[in-house]
Structure 1
Amino acid sequence: MDVSKLPGFYAIAAADPDRLAVIDTDGTRTSYGDLLARVNQVSHGLRARGLRDGDVVAGVLPNGIDALVMIMATGQIGLYYVPINWHLTAAEVAYILADCDAKVVVAGPGYDVPGAETGTGGLAEGQPADAPADRATGAVMWYTSGTTGFPKGVQRPLPGTEPEALVPLYIWFFGEVVDLKAGDEVHLVTSPMYHSAPCAHAQFALHLGHTVVITPKFDPLNILELIERHRVTNAMMVPTMFHRMLQLPEDIRGKYDVSSLRQVIHTAAACPVAVKQQIMDWWGPVLYEYYGSTESTIAFSVKPHDWLARPGTVGRPAPSFEARILDESGAELPPGEPGMIYVKSGMGSFEYRKDPAKTAASMRGEWYAPGDIGYLDGDGYLFLCDRRTDLIVSGGVNIYPAEIEAALLEHPAVADVAVIGVPDEEWGHNVVALVQPGEDVTPGPELTAALLEHCGPRIARFKQPKVIEYRATLPRTPTGKLSRSKVRADYLAANTSSSE
């Protein structure tokens, strides 16, 4: 059935109930009709518990069909849904639940959350499978810490319309940005759906009539096997995943047929040019990239051939967005000169829940600052330098850790790397690289010499690490973001205590 004219999941499921909606982590298959029936039952169950427009529901759920059910159920009865990272401590989960005023909490089996429903079964039990009355669009409210402080909910006003009125706008936007269209496509979930991008892509895959294949966690061989088995056409990944797949031996990589891929979208962290080029040499020109944040959503985007013409760019402003690069005084900077990135969106405003001061501090009038440093070229393409908080100033010169990390990651002995600035009385900061060696690689003076020699032709001498140390692992989030703040704090604590 041609679903391209139908306005999203709820209409598609009603018109084509036998269409395959989800292949779950254990291989269980669920049709659009059966998924809609469970979604409707949960919507009725939430209403039966007294929830009304604008109320909040939270989920501590692993990747799986329940996570999708909660998004789609709250999304048609005007509720805010808060997905919570199941890796958080009990105290951290409790803080978010209290701050968001969740009236119902759903948790996966094995997650000890006081007062939570276990899965969606209890909410659905005994409820009708038809659509609820007075349907209204809900929203996902993401909790984000930014760079410091307690996490705050990023809350957008509810539109007050049925989902079918708003979904076409978002379908158009995704089509413009990453060429995703409605039809017989297959989307692969590779990351935890408690993060905004994986969740949004899974949700809109259903609005596009795609089949959603869900993995419990990222594993390079499993991902390649699923792409081949299910003829996956689109997926959302992060640069760390690319790096891990490129570390597979070439004969292993060559065993898998990835020719079905048409769009592999990546975000969450800067992708080293060499890594992205190697993936496109392997998979073809299928990598789409966008840059934004939980607050700004997709602010910049670039399609494969535009990136190949300008390696390293994260794109031009997405539809309805404007961008400016400003210095510390707020003056606009010319092309090629790095400064703070500011964006303005025509897609709607946001506020930090219960924190008007933080909302105001993040804005300059109508312009929002994601917290990154970058520059625009003469054609308006954005190139990122680094997070403002990670900037290293040595001898009065700005040094961007991401540039050094990208150079070191090109060396085959490096599995992962974090570059930080360490205080120095003479220079202000010294550049320190903490390297996670690849398997069967022996760290030591010989490797250090090889890495410094490798950096020679790639980055200027003043950017090269003054110190290289080795770590068994480096702290990354499940979506691949490097926690440089934790790396820096751990390094300084260890070196301060060892010198006392």
Structure 2
Amino acid sequence: MKIRSLATLFDDAARSAATVVHLSRPFDLAPLRGVRHDMAGLAALVRETSGALHAAGVAEGDTVAIVKRNHWDYVLLAAAVARLGAVPALLSDHLSAESLQVLVKRLEPTTLITCRSVLAKARAEGVDLTSVVGRTVSLDGDFGAATALAGFKGEPPPPVVERGPDAPLVVNHTSGTTGLPKLVVHTTRTMLHGIAAAEGTRVPVLSARRSDVVCSAIAFCHGRSVPWTAAVLSLAPRELVIIADPDDVEPVLREHPPTTLEALPSTFVRWTRLAVASDLFAGVRLFVSTFDAMHPPTIRAFLEASGKRCPVWLQVWGQTETGPLTFRLLTRRSLAARAGRNPTTRGLGRPAPGRAHLRIVDRRTFAEVPPGTPGLVLVRTPVTCVGYVAEQARWHAKWNEGWWNTGDLGLRTPTGAFRLLDREVDLIPGQSCVELEDILEDRLPEAVECIVLGVPGQLPTPVVVTESGTLAPFAWAAAQQDLPPLADPVVLTWSQIPRTATGKVRRSALRRTLHRDDMTYGSGLWT
């Protein structure tokens, strides 16, 4: 299937793919239609929804904000909006009501599509989201000024409105690890004809096969969701398994064992105990991680859980603004602990062939630095986003004569590969927070996660996340004995760590909690 447009994506898939979709729970968009869908049924649901939204008043050129519980129907709603020539903006319900209010105001949407739980949560936080939009449509019934989508159903969909390839297609927000998320604008050319088309090209080992059972457990409001959907539908695997809530995974995977699996890094971490104690992942030949850093113990646990002879972990580094930039394949052998060497997954691999170019520059002068020297990572790719909603000056500040400033620190190895060190805002002079985290997690089996925070004028603060919120002093002493000096560890549980919608640690918020300010060594100019 050729990837043409978001508006006709599911219609095109219905004509060319026999993929069957299994959901961990019914769509919020269609709660009575169960958990099994074929392509024809999904295409019909998109058309039906488009007709209802048209009846509700959505028109060509509108911006439509969508915020709801995590599920793949974010993409179906986006496709329904795109059929009308409008622009969907996908926002996470994990954002605070205050942040949602600011982002919705920036979007200036004609319509907000949401659900009662989102409106009720916002109201409890003192925010009326319906007051900042022209109309609000609720997926699950009337709520205050919000009108139920069901009341508009039954209207036939109007003809598809096709927008130009360089017109705004969809808006996604960034993770917001350092503050209020940015609203990233992509077009059909960048997101579908660029990012999705590249992923939809068949590559041995890495691409979905027609015999595969492809499982995804990501944040479907994220910029990954639309291009991933387009790519996987074009590859037409036998089955597609969607996990909306990480806690619902076991029954679904028992019934539909996956052969490829992509999940949020935080989800992989939470599933590690299942990988160790069950055979749920025995049939997986390919694991995929994007979104955030993954540490060696977690990757090793899943590779060992696979019953395949040579399972592969595909580690992808990229950003919402750029799509995937580099990739690296990890195997059991490459992650094996070796004498005198600390295992790490900071190697980014190499840029995607023909799709991205990277260079490392001094963060003050922007002069290119030699191999082995840390610096800012700049990228050149034809699929860079075209702007930030209501913050175009901020976008221009990161755009430097065709090179995009990622705000990440890294270095080029003598062999031409790239190594990720830290976000510039989180740097520690002469060290790498993320590499220290790799080592600590590898040495502390009881650690669910480790975070190292740089604090000017103080030793770096290690935060160790455990199930119990406790850590034996002798275990810490053994783990850090040959490392650079660190402060005494702060031991917390998973729920005590501030996180984004994709499970990333909000380091600035955690730093404020522990140190009552957010002073860092970095400038934070390119967050």
Same fold (TM over 0.5): yes
Which residue number in structure 1 is paired with residue 235 of structure 2? Answer: 208
Tell me, yes or no, if structure 1 residue 275 matches structure 2 residue 298. yes
Instruction: Please name the residue that 1:326 is paired with.
Output: 361
Q: Give the letter aligned to residue 174 of structure 2.
A: T
Q: What corresponds to 1:117 in structure 2?
A: 137
Pick closer, same or farther for the CA change 1:339–1:264 going to 2, 3 Å: same
1:5-24 alignment, distance < 5 Å: 9-14=10-15, 19-24=19-24
Is the contact between residue 299 and residue 321 of structure 1 (CA under 8 Å) also seen in structure 2? yes
1:154 aligns with 2:189: no
**Structure 1 residues 346, 185: closer, same or farther in 2, change over 3 A?**
same
Shift of residue 298, structure 1, vs aligned partner? 0.9
Match of 1:467 among 464, 471, 488: 488
Q: Which amino acid aligns with 2:35?
A: T
Q: Which residue of 2 aligns with 1:489?
A: 512
Change (3 A) 1:123 1:391: farther
For each residue in 1:334-371, what CA deviation from the matched residue of structure 2 results, as whole angstroms up to 9, or x when unmatched?
22221110001122542112223201111222111111
SS in 2 for 1:180: coil
Q: Percent identity?
A: 24
TM-score under structure 1 length normalisation: 0.82
Q: Does 1:238 align with 2:270?
A: no
Q: Secondary structure at the match of 2:455?
A: strand
1:454 maps to which residue? 479
Once the two structures are superposed, residues 425-471 of structure 1 have per-residue CA deviations (whole angstroms, 9 ceiling, x without a partner) of xxxx31121222334x744xxx23321222235xx3xx242222222
- Matched residue count: 466
Matched, 1:196 2:219: no
Tell me the SS of whatever aligns to 1:315. strand
Q: Could you tell me whether the CA contact under 8 Å between 1:307 and 1:313 is conserved in 2?
A: no
Task: Report which stretch shifted further, 185-194 or 19-28.
Answer: 19-28
Q: Counterparts of 1:490 and 1:301 in 2: how far apart (Å)?
A: 34
Alpha carbons 1:405, 1:418 under 8 Å: kept: yes
What is the letter of the counterpart of residue 108 of structure 2?
Answer: D
Q: Are the structure 2 counterparts of residues 361 and 316 from structure 1 closer, same or farther at C-alpha, using a change threshold of 3 Å?
A: same
Number of the residue aligned with 2:199: 173
Provide the C-alpha distance between the structure 1 equivalents of 2:65 and 2:515, rounded to a whole number of angstroms.
37
Q: SS in structure 2 opposite 1:81?
A: strand
Which SS does the other structure have where 2:421 is aligned?
strand
Give the partner amino acid of 2:356: F
Q: How does 1:243-254 map to 2 (within 5 A)?
A: 243-248=269-274, 250=276, 252-253=277-278
1:5-24, Cα deviation, whole Å (9 max, x unpaired):
787532221456x7523535
Instruction: Go from structure 1 to structure 2 and tell me whether the alpha carbon gap of 1:192 and 1:469 turns closer, same or farther (over 3 Å shift).
Output: same
Residue matched to 2:98? 91
**Root-mean-square deviation (CA), in Å?**
3.3
Structure 1 segments unaligned to the other structure (5+ residues): none
Q: Which residue of 2 aligns with 1:416?
A: 449
| 1:24-423 alignment runs, 5 A limit | 24-26=24-26, 28-49=35-56, 51-64=58-71, 66-112=73-119, 113-114=129-130, 115-119=135-139, 121-122=149-150, 125-128=153-156, 132-136=159-163, 139-144=169-174, 148=178, 150-157=180-187, 170-175=196-201, 179-181=206-208, 183-198=210-225, 200-210=227-237, 211-219=239-247, 222-248=248-274, 250=276, 252-253=277-278, 256-283=279-306, 284-304=310-330, 308=334, 312-318=346-352, 319-328=354-363, 329-393=365-429, 398-410=430-442, 411-423=444-456
> How much does 1:492 deviate?
1.1
Change (3 A) 1:471 1:150: closer
In the other structure, the counterpart of 2:125 is: none
2:122 corresponding residue in structure 1: none
- Hey, what's the Cα distance between the residues in 1 that align with 2:252 and 2:21? 16
1:305–1:100 Cα change, 3 Å: same
Structure 2 unaligned residues grouped into runs of 5+: 27-33, 120-128, 140-147, 336-343, 520-527
Q: 1:145 to 1:335 in 2, by over 3 A?
A: same
Residue 388 of structure 1 and its aligned partner are, at CA, apart by: 0.9
Report the AA paired with residue 365 of structure 1. E
SS at match of 1:379: coil
C-alpha separation in 1, matches of 2:518 and 2:42: 54
